[in-house]
Amino acid sequence: MILFLDFDGVLHPETPLSTRVDFQHLPLLWRILREVPEVEVVFTTSWRKSHTLAELIALVTQDGGEYFLPRFIGMTPAVDKASREQRDLGHRREECLLWIEANRSRFPFWKKDIPWIALDDIAYWYGLPCFQLHMTDSKTGLTESDVESIIKKLKAMR
């Protein structure tokens, strides 16, 4: 079971680029991982374009999340938006599906459909409708209410 993770607008409220970022919602992410232990995390955040996988993992496991380090397993490939007929529309969903296909060997061979959910604050990047998307409010980021809903969805995918 895969959780595709964005940072901006999810782990912290969306801020102007010049503002220091504080991943204030990491404990909420860790709660999801604690309550649904079969979930593994793949980064979809744009930060993956300027940080290595090891750097991203360090950011989300610092100050208390070290236990979850093995659950962060990769990052999606970047889709060339210039080649898309409609710029940006659905590109993150496409990246998620490409990652699943490229990593199919990680999952039991009999599993045709790999259950996944994406946490993001921009629905447009997933195309509409995308039933796997759990959208957060970019002004607040991840909330307790979001966490309850996400845990419920993930447990239903078992």
Tokens matching residue 64: 């208390």
- Please, what are the domains in the chain? 2-156 (3.40.50)
pLDDT at 88: 61
Task: Identify the sign of the CA torsion 97, 42, 71, 133.
Answer: negative
Q: Are 44 and 92 in contact (CB under 8 A)?
A: yes
* Span 123-138, pLDDT tens digits: 988 987 889 999 999 9
How many Cβ atoms sit within 10 Å of the Cβ of residue 157?
A: 16
Longest Cα separation, the chain: 48
* Span 30-77, pLDDT tens digits: 999 999 999 999 999 999 999 999 999 999 999 999 999 999 999 999
> What angle, 0 to 180 degrees and rounded to 10, lies between the N-to-C axes of helices 144-156 and 26-35?
30
pTM exceeds 0.85 for this model: yes
How many Cβ atoms sit within 10 Å of the Cβ of residue 100?
A: 18
